[in-house]
Amino acid sequence: MTNENKDQFRQPDHEHDHFLLTTVVGSYPKPKWLNRAKELYKDEDHGFDEDDYQEAKDDAARLITNEHERAGLDVVVDGEMRRNEMVEFFAHRIEGYEFNGPVKVWGHNYFDKPSVVSEVEYEDSWLVDEYEFTAAASDRPVKVPITGPYTLANWSFNEAYDDDDELTLELADLVNEEIEKLVDAGARYIQIDEPALATTPDDHAIVGEALEHIVADIPEEVRIGLHVCYGDYSRIYPEILEFPVDEFDLELANGDYEQLDVFKDPEFSKDLALGVCDAHVAEVESVEQIEANIKKGLEVVPPEQLVVSPDCGVKLLPREVAYGKMANMVEAARNVEADLDAGEIDVEPGAPTPADD
């Protein structure tokens, strides 16, 4: 059985009959010198100007894209080297947002939570330059992660719209506009990040409606994924199967796959991008452990619907650990593909894999 939407990202020299698409969710540790470059740029007494900082970000984007290639990923990202935080980055580019200083969110971390103070409007493109640079730096397909409108609304102060639902739909139209520009530039893989969904599951209906706005007039061959993490998936499943996306990217390794059964009944009808490495653990999982995790995904979907990725963005990990996870993940995926080709894995979705024995 084929899956044309997924198979368009198979490398021409892929050595196995089966194909488990390997990619990342998005963020990746920044090189330490990039953080130092940012400090110099913000220091008015230093001669490190905007052009210098832009060159540093370009170099970092090129470096991390190459690191993803060396790990063997089928689809690469630049590790979001130009982005600071998943809401702030976009809020700075949308007319109608303003910032009033950081708020404490957890532990000792601060987040410059923005406010929507007037009608949100689309001005210049948010990500086309980033996509074009990454695509030129790599021979591999490039995925573009975009923070979703529900999270952009939910994690901001709303001082302009009657309710967050209205704001969410207005933002969804802006995301749609951005995706149209990305598609015109050549992008074929878009991932909408909605971590807020699983923490406020009663709002799945507005997320679904927002996605309808997002995909309006987007060609079918463009792969649209939805990344969701945290929370209780049983409160949004099976309703999310009605969402107009090709792929769900889910955090499950961190919970030792305790929620896996949620997705077995009713049948999972979309592609599953399974988290097979824990983004919260600063240790590299062995190839054998990741192989076992990948086989968990085969309990839910057949190989042609399975995508392999870490649980979430890995930006908080040490860089060598992040790379180790990527490299082992790819090796594990290729090993599982070989076992599938050899007929050594004979699983039916819905049944426990031999790895459970």
CB atoms within 10 A of CB 283: 10
**How far is 247 from 6, CA to CA, in rounded Å?**
9
Predicted confidence at residue 287, as pLDDT, reads 98
**How is residue 195 annotated by DSSP?**
T
Greatest CA separation for the chain? 65
For 281-326, what is each residue's pLDDT tens digit?
999 999 999 999 999 999 999 999 999 999 999 999 999 999 999 9
For 132-150, what is each residue's pLDDT tens digit?
999 999 999 999 999 999 9
For 160-174, what is each residue's pLDDT tens digit?
999 999 999 999 999
Q: Are strands 103-106 and 109-111 parallel, antiparallel or unpaired?
A: antiparallel
Question: 29 φ, ψ to 5°?
Answer: -60, 135
The reported pTM is 0.94
Check whether the bond before 266 is cis (ω within 30° of 0): yes
For 45-102, what is each residue's pLDDT tens digit?
888 999 999 999 999 999 999 999 999 999 999 999 999 889 999 999 999 999 988 8
**How far is 121 from 166, CA to CA, in rounded Å?**
14
Residues 6+ apart with CB under 8 A from 19: 6, 7, 10, 303, 304, 337
**How far is 274 from 253, CA to CA, in rounded Å?**
8
For 244-258, what is each residue's pLDDT tens digit?
999 999 999 999 999
Predicted confidence at residue 102, as pLDDT, reads 81
Quote the tokens at residue 284.
């590299």
Q: What share of the chain is helix, strand, coil (3-state, %, to 5)?
A: 40, 15, 45
Question: 138 φ, ψ to 5°?
Answer: -140, 150
Answer yes or no: are the C-beta atoms of 5 and 246 closer than 8 Å.
yes
CB atoms within 10 A of CB 153: 26
Residue 154 one-letter amino acid: N
Predicted confidence at residue 197, as pLDDT, reads 84
**How far is 141 from 22, CA to CA, in rounded Å?**
11
Predicted confidence at residue 353, as pLDDT, reads 60
Answer yes or no: are the C-beta atoms of 250 and 308 closer than 8 Å.
no
**How is residue 308 annotated by DSSP?**
E
Residue by residue, DSSP assigns 96-132 as EEEE---EEEETTEEE--EEEEEEEEE-S-SSHHHHH
